[in-house]
């Protein structure tokens, strides 16, 4: 997840397809961890950068088919449809 999100400065073009393939092959439990990775301080810190935020939303779309947990699907729905990137 950390590598897929980039460092905020650019995408590793040669590795991006490999990262996507790995994410596509995650099972439900691993997909849950990937989606909820924003709770990790390293990941949440990266999400302040526009590119990392864009890649996180892309990550969600990639792993979404593997998610079977209703609460995690609710988090996905909130992030993709309601969250505007700002906290109160």
- DSSP letter (8 states) at residue 65: G
Q: What ranges do the domains of the chain cover?
A: 13-81
**For tokens 């400065």, what's the residue?**
9
pLDDT digits (tens, 9 = 90+) for 10-56: 999 999 999 999 999 999 999 999 999 999 999 999 999 999 999 99
Please state the pTM of the whole predicted model. 0.88
Question: What is the rounded distance in angstroms from the CA atom of residue 32 to the CA atom of residue 76?
Answer: 10
Question: Quick check: 2 pLDDT over 70?
Answer: yes
Angle, vertex CA 84, rays to CA 1 and CA 73, nearest 5: 55
What is the pLDDT, as a whole number, of residue 87?
A: 52
pLDDT band with cut points at 50, 70 and 90 for residue 88: very low
Q: Do the beta carbons of residue 62 and residue 17 sit within 8 Å?
A: no
């Amino acid at each position: 997840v950390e590598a897929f999100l980039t460092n905020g400065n650019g995408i590793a073009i040669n590795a991006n397809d490999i990262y996507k393939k790995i994410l596509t092959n995650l099972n439900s439990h691993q997909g849950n961890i990937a989606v909820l990775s924003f709770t990790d301080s390293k990941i949440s810190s990266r999400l302040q950068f526009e590119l990392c935020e864009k890649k996180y939303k892309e990550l969600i779309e990639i792993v979404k088919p593997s998610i079977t947990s209703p609460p995690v699907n609710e988090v996905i729905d909130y992030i993709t449809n309601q969250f505007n990137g700002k906290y109160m």
